[in-house]
Amino acid sequence: MEDRFRLREAMVVGDEVVCLWEDGHESYFPGPQLRRACTCASCKGEAHLFGRRTLPTLRPLPPEAFVPVAVRRVGHYGLQVVWGDGHDFGIYHLESLRRACPCGECTAQGGGSYAPMA
């Protein structure tokens, strides 16, 4: 795997998830952006991927649902985020995360929009 898709360290800082990559790049993901991109079965992320006929109802989430409280690595490919409302089912693919880096440098290169993992 390329260095830019390998995670050196991840942590929660305030309401952001910070990823430090092996190539030295740092990504700051705002909590709300990440939570909305959650691909777990109980969030909407997977609905399109698996072509369900009925979309799950989007429940209004409390404000704490958008606040990350902890991050855990999942194998070599993923990052799990635990949210303030206890939700922790979503695993973010590292490659997708890096591609979604919202910093100016990356958005200038066409990143910045979170594409759910394939």
| CB of 1 or CB of 103, closer to Zn ion | 103
State how far the Cα of 43 lies from the Cα of 28, in Å rounded to an integer: 22
Span near Zn ion by CB under 5 A; candidates 2-10, 14-22, 56-64, 84-92? 84-92
Query: At a CB cut-off of 8 Å and minimum separation 6, what does 19 contact?
Result: 7, 9, 10, 26, 27, 29, 79, 97, 98
Work out how close the CB of 35 gets to Zn ion at its nearest, in angstroms, rounded to a whole number: 8
7 near Zn ion (CB under 5 A): no
Span near Zn ion by CB under 5 A; candidates 30-38, 50-58, 62-70, 71-79? 30-38
34 near Zn ion (CB under 5 A): no
Query: In 1-118, which residue ranges form alpha helices assigned H by DSSP?
Result: 31-36, 45-49, 94-99, 104-108
Work out how close the CB of 15 gets to Zn ion at its nearest, in angstroms, rounded to a whole number: 17
